[in-house]
Chain A
């Protein structure tokens, strides 16, 4: 079948990223609406297996470009390889998940092919034969609907917007190996330092987050060795985050934090949820001591259910929450952990 909808399978350390198959699902829907098929594209080294997985999740076929030069992700050779694949196939549409890699990859491909690129979609539909993307601008204060006037129409979709399709074990399709037209590569990857610990925020179905309120507990006395005021605050915050982590464990959740908590040094940047941290869309978002500032809301507003625990009854978070408790998180969070542990049989 001639296919015009291409989907790029983003991967790291040999594994497809959490949202990869959601995007294949989105590609499937798009192709069906356009009356065409879906081709998955896998680029790298030693990752040909991802092509079969993509087919099992809904792609009709796949192209694989492998080369030693593609072992580590670098935008220039990956983009050259992808651009050639798309050009040769006269692709109509290219869908990708939204990650740090795919953002620059898609940007460069867009220049190669002189077309438009639209990242961070929270909605995608097909209208009058064109893909229409909905995305937030101004930190989510406004939404825009955009189409790409040239070809291919390149869209990057956010995690957890589309459902993950079921894998059909027996599904088969043609996997074509193509020459990786990597072009000249001037950069050299020296190494990686992993910072993600535990459940990935962007993939998590449940997130428990702590804000600046996590450090406010005058009842807690830091050990005598800590004399600096700020360090005492950080110590208290760490006790608070320990409670948050316990709740997260019971719920099999990821741990997030507001920018205020990260800026104050309570948790590393990798945990930051917000417009400039990670944008998340879990089923449940439990906000503890998080005031609900606009920048934070921009990062978690699309959560299906928000539960807020805060001492301040006027905190903006209560305006977007479905369930709220006005109280001291140092009392409420451990009590909630106990209750849920019992009720969920853990």
Chain B
């Protein structure tokens, strides 16, 4: 099977993110592979282990995003490709999905494209479905489990985590699959993987290399970023001599303040 897994590089989720001079800043916090994408890489690797084939990690980002691809290689992906172009830096999902779809077509004969469900910086979760639409493939988003996969008959069945419950859906391949945390537990990069990844050469494609003669306009325009208003609550600590007294006091306050 020819499997692609799309990864993004984001700041570490533990980073203190602030707004400085009208721009988002994460200080010295490291840039890492988007945590959701680790689940996607793991699922791609398990698919290869079960059905054979190759896993190619794909990323659209600046040069430094190479490190995210190295993490994917260290986990066990066979190859990695970076699509990097200064014109893409301001792109929204409309742009990025076009580039990803074009790159997947350039890679050619791909059976499955895995994504993490969302990126922890933009938190939109729309790119996987958009890439699928552009490729003309079914979009299977929020997949919590792959229940069946038959490369011979080119079908896949999955459980999707919707708000009301799990939807079981069957689809032909090729397809786009975005995964949730429930799908698997990602492996740590092995030491050998780390060594191989640090020595690996990762090809860099420009927008033109994937067939885009011009970069499409973004559909969004960002007006501003700002820090969320500080929640100016001065907590009212309820105290008392006994638990019952404290509970009674809180109940009274809640009803008094018309909270309940």
Contact = CB atoms under 8 A, between A and B. Distances in A.
* In-complex A–B contact (CB below 8 Å): yes
B49 interface: no
B107 interface: no
B186 interface: no
A284 B260 contact: yes
Contacts of B121: 137-138
B108 interface: no
Given A149-B220, A190-B157, A318 B228 contact: no
In this complex, the member of B93, B162, B168 whose beta carbon has the largest number of chain A beta carbons within 10 angstroms is B162
A104 B132 CA distance: 10
B89 interface: no
Given A138-B121, A149-B217, A194-B164, A344 B250 contact: no
Interface in A253-280: 269, 275-276, 278
Given A142-B228, A193-B166, A322-B233, A111 B94 contact: yes
A322 B236 contact: yes
B168 A322 contact: no
Nearest to A328: B243
A206 B237 contact: no
Interface stretch (B40-48, B70-78, B123-131, B193-201): B123-131
Nearest to B155: A188
Interface string A103-125: 11011101110111111100000
A111 B130 contact: yes
Interface string B244-260: 10111011111101011
Interface in A325-346: 325-327, 331-332, 335-336, 338-340, 343-344
A336 B247 contact: yes
Given A195-B164, A321-B233, A119 B126 contact: yes
Interface residues of A, number: 89
Interface string B156-175: 01011111111111111000
Interface stretch (B1-9, B56-64, B134-142): B134-142
B234 to A, nearest CB: 9
Interface in B204-260: 216-228, 231, 233, 235-239, 243-244, 246-248, 250-255, 257, 259-260
A149 B251 CA distance: 50
Contact of A323 (B123, B141, B172, B236): B236
Interface stretch (A29-37, A44-52, A301-309): A301-309
Contacts of B127: 107
In this complex, the member of B16, B93, B134, B223 whose beta carbon has the largest number of chain A beta carbons within 10 angstroms is B223
A251 interface: yes
Interface in B33-56: none
B106 to A, nearest CB: 19
A190 B170 contact: yes
Contact of A103 (B92, B125, B171, B244): B125
A88 B121 CA distance: 35
A103 B120 CA distance: 16
A294 to B, nearest CB: 8
B84 to A, nearest CB: 22
DSSP class of A's interface residues: helix, strand, loop or mixed?
mixed
A191 B165 CA distance: 10
B184 interface: no
A220 interface: no
Contact of A108 (B17, B120, B139, B250): B139
Contacts of B130: 107-108, 110-111
Contacts of A114: 94, 216, 219
A116 B220 contact: yes
A148 interface: yes
B182 interface: yes
B109 interface: no
Contact of B250 (A112, A115, A323): A323
B24 interface: yes
A190 B257 CA distance: 49
B24 A138 contact: yes
Contact of B221 (A147, A195, A269): A147
Contacts of A307: 250, 254, 259
A12 B164 contact: yes
A144 B228 contact: no
A138 B247 contact: no
B14 to A, nearest CB: 9
A206 B255 CA distance: 14
A142 B94 contact: no
B236 A149 contact: no
Given A13-B164, A147-B220, A192-B168, 16 more contacts: A12-B164, A99-B163, A106-B126, A118-B124, A137-B24, A142-B18, A142-B19, A145-B226, A187-B171, A192-B164, A269-B161, A326-B237, A336-B247, A339-B247, A339-B248, A339-B250
